[in-house]
């Protein structure tokens, strides 16, 4: 007896009888997901998990549109209407914008980059030999007038990791940072930094979490007669070991244990990032100057965190990006978790790019070119 043939026949029969119901169910689930991005995971943490499924739901709806168009065009309206209603989420996933560069002296560029402590940890230096010096030199030589770095690291006595000297003092950048000192060595510190070729009038930290160092700072930058406020954010990390996701398991108990651990970390991240963005939001809304937010959100474009910022500011990738815009340089390569947001009423963006050719960190750098209106 050919069991494969029997199973295949049963699946085909099931598909023919239930495909319309499956499409309707998919449409309902997708519409529900559209609404969930407006609800904070602080109160309903399961919402965070639903947001991760939205790209899959969108792809399934696209499949149904194509499928029905080939055999029964009227039925394609089910998923077609759902996709039309959720076009905002499609534009967050894939962008295709016309870009142009300009030689105007009024244009300034902003670099945002999670530099992974410049690969200073011993295990990173062993795994990525030579990357520490390369990433420092790359950041130092990049011509952006404003640079926002997450996971910035500095060691006063080190020739290699005296990054304030290399990035700011040698290159004549003003800078504002609010680092935390290492408990092991009081001359080592890491955190966030904003570097600027333009004068920095003032800077301030925003304490948004339970950790010792702030995950948010801002600096007021004087550009000619105008002033803009630059925010640099690094929200709660997932702290998930990718190897546990892709490793082969010998026993089911290992699978259960590792995936329960991953689920707990995801839940912790969803809730804490929602809390953090709600603490940052008043600072953004009350800014007396046009705002640019550079952020490692550690969250996808369908999340509550992203939606809170996007409802108030334009996203640089959506406005001038191209392609998928994936910003994570790892096994989970399909993530866009790094962003630049800006006040489109007071600022214009000419160009935006995710520099996927720069391999030195587990994030790719982002560069946007702006002009004050």
> How do residues 111-120 score in pLDDT, each as one tens digit?
999 999 999 9
Instruction: Note the pLDDT of residue 13.
Output: 73
DSSP string, 38-80: TS-TTT-THHHHHHHTHHHHHHHHHHHHHHHHHH-GGGHHHHH
Distance of CA 278 to the CA centre of its chain: 17
The whole-number average pLDDT for the span 352-368 is 97
Cβ–Cβ under 8 Å, residues 292 and 347: yes
Q: Domains in the chain, please, with CATH?
A: 3-93 (no CATH), 107-372 (3.60.10.10)
Matching residue, tokens 């023919």: 16
Question: Angle 54-71/3-36 helices, nearest 10 degrees?
Answer: 120
0.75 surpassed by pTM:
yes
Q: Is the pLDDT of residue 358 over 60?
A: yes
Token pair belonging to 369: 């070119």
Cα gap 365→358, rounded to integer Å: 7
Helices (H) and strands (E) in the chain, counts: 12, 15
Using a pLDDT cut of 90, give the percent of the chain over it: 70
Confidence of residue 3 (pLDDT cuts 50, 70, 90): low
Cα gap 206→113, rounded to integer Å: 19
- Check residues 51 and 313 and name the one with the higher pLDDT: 313
Using a pLDDT cut of 70, give the percent of the chain over it: 88
Token pair belonging to 34: 């559209």
């Amino acid at each position: 007896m050919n069991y494969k043939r029997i199973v295949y026949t049963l699946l085909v029969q099931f598909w023919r009888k239930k495909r319309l119901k499956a499409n309707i169910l998919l449409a309902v689930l997708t519409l529900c997901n559209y609404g969930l991005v407006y609800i904070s995971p602080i109160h309903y943490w399961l919402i965070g998990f639903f947001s991760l499924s939205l790209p899959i739901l969108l792809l399934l709806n696209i499949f149904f549109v194509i499928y029905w168009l080939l055999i029964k065009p009227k039925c394609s309206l089910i998923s077609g209407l759902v996709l039309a209603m959720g076009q905002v989420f499609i534009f967050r996933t894939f962008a295709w914008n016309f870009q142009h560069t300009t030689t105007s002296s009024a244009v300034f560029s902003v670099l945002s980059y999670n530099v992974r402590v410049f690969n200073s940890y011993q295990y990173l230096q062993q795994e990525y030999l030579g990357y520490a010096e390369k990433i420092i030199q790359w950041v130092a030589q990049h011509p952006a007038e404003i640079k926002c770095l997450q996971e910035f690291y500095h060691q006063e006595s080190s020739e290699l990791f005296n990054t304030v000297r290399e990035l700011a003092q040698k290159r004549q950048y003003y800078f504002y940072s609010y680092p935390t000192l290492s408990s092991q060595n009081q001359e080592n510190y890491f955190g966030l930094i904003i570097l600027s070729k333009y004068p920095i009038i003032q800077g301030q930290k925003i304490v948004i979490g339970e950790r010792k160092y702030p995950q948010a700072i801002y600096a007021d930058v004087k550009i000619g007669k105008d002033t803009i406020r630059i925010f640099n954010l690094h929200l709660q990390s997932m702290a998930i070991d990718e190897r546990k996701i892709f490793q082969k398991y010998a026993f089911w108990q290992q699978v259960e244990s590792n995936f329960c651990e991953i689920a707990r970390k995801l839940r912790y991240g969803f809730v804490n990032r929602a809390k953090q963005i709600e603490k940052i939001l008043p600072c953004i809304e009350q800014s007396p100057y046009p705002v640019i937010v550079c952020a490692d959100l550690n969250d996808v474009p369908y999340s509550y965190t992203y939606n809170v910022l996007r409802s108030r500011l334009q996203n640089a990738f959506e406005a001038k990006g191209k392609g998928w815009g994936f910003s994570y340089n790892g096994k989970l390569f399909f993530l866009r978790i790094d962003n630049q947001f800006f006040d489109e009423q007071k600022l214009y963006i000419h160009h935006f790019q995710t520099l996927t050719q720069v391999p030195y960190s587990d994030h790719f750098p982002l560069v946007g070119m702006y002009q004050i209106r």
